[in-house]
Amino acid sequence: MPSPKDVLEAIRHGDARQLESLLASDAALASARDENGVSALMQAAYQRRSEMVEMLRSRKASLDIFEAAALGDEAQLSALLSTDPSLAHTWSADGFTALHFTAFFQQPACAKLLVAKGADVTAVARNPMAVTPLHSAAAAHATEIARLLLEKGAPVDARQQGGWTALHAAAMHGDEPLADLLLSCGADPALKAGNGSDAAALALEKGYGALARKLRPVGEKGF
């Protein structure tokens, strides 16, 4: 008899054919969750398995707040928040808010909706990653969302696990538009991550020389 565990295993292995077979045998398996309470749909989204996401989504009667945020379903998100505004402040089973998901999955319309409903732009993930929504936006090159978060008071130099800031992420990714935005909002290029590297050093290490020069702390001589 197919089980939720089988669904999660199919997702983990990227076996779309097996997932399709399991869901054909029992559509209710689309609502499977792991032992921590994270949904199968979110597991597929984390792994960027878009085909599997659609398989699961098409068989679910509705999305929860985190799924709607991650998938950019503004209508469903709006409906959920209208029914229960407190959902803007709830935490997923793995320690994130819906705003974290809109940032990480690059869903600006949903991010704006959540912020308008009072979502906390300073929220620190309740897991070892300790990311804020701004860190999630930086990881996803989501400059538009980063701008929204900063305008609403997100701390530009917040540190996540390992002492990383959003500017460190922009440096490592060679993301000059994001770096420019962060610097314009007061990001400190002299801050060092846990490994002792500042943003300029990280950019230089990754081969982004022009960005490294822009990020060089004031008073420090050139590379």
- d(CA 44, CA 53) in angstroms, rounded, equals 6
Angle at 113 between CA 105 and CA 165, to 5 degrees: 50
Phi/psi zone of residue 188: left (φ > 0), alpha (ψ -120 to 50 degrees), beta? beta
Going by pLDDT thresholds of 50, 70 and 90, the confidence category of residue 51 is very high
Provide the residue ranges of all domains of the chain, joining segments of one domain with +. 1-61
Cβ proximity of 125 and 131 under 8 Å: yes
* Average pLDDT taken over every residue of the chain: 96
Mean pLDDT of 131-144: 98
Looking at domain 1-61, what is its CATH homologous superfamily?
A: Ankyrin repeat-containing domain (1.25.40.20)
If you search the block for the tokens 């600006």, which residue do you land on?
108
Q: Which pTM value belongs to this model? A: 0.95
- d(CA 121, CA 134) in angstroms, rounded, equals 8
Provide the b/e sequence for 79-92 (b: ≥16 CB within 10 Å): ebbeeeeebbeeeb
- d(CA 197, CA 189) in angstroms, rounded, equals 10
pLDDT score of 146: 98
Q: What is the pLDDT of residues 146-169, one digit of tens each?
A: 999 999 999 999 999 999 999 999
